[in-house]
Amino acid sequence: MTTIYHNPRCRKSRETLALLDKNNEQIEIVLYMENPPTETELSGILEKLKLFPIELVRKNESVWKENFKGKQLSDAEIIEAMVKNPKLIERPVVIKNGKAALGRPPESVLNIL
């Protein structure tokens, strides 16, 4: 089973989902804007991606600029901000067999399939 943290309003997310479908993956779609991951789940995703929390933040979002930009935040505080404001989570994230990839560009997820 391949899991995609998906935002249907995002072009890259839609392209990545189409790529998974084209590769005949069994897909579990997580609409993370409606059902955000918990802090524990997001920490696990970051570990699989081998990224620091700040590397998964969409820094051009107004909620980031207005509330967090320029502040010294711990990793836990950044994760908490993303959980409370899932719009801040870079997308899409694809997980399969304990590995994860960010679908930017969409083809980058092929490495874990």
Please tell me the predicted confidence (pLDDT) of residue 53. Answer: 98
Please tell me the pTM assigned to this model.
0.94
Rounded distance between C-alpha atoms, residue 113 and residue 39, angstroms? 26
Backbone angles phi, psi at 93, to 5 degrees: -110, 130
Domain count of the fold of the chain: 1
Catalytic residues: 10
pLDDT in tens, 23-58: 999 999 999 999 999 999 999 999 999 999 999 999
CATH code of the domain in which 99 resides: 3.40.30.10
- The rounded radius of gyration (Å) of the Cα atoms in the chain is 14
Q: Which domain holds residue 89?
A: 2-112
Cα separation, 108 vs 102, whole angstroms: 7
57-66 tens-digit pLDDT: 999 999 999 9
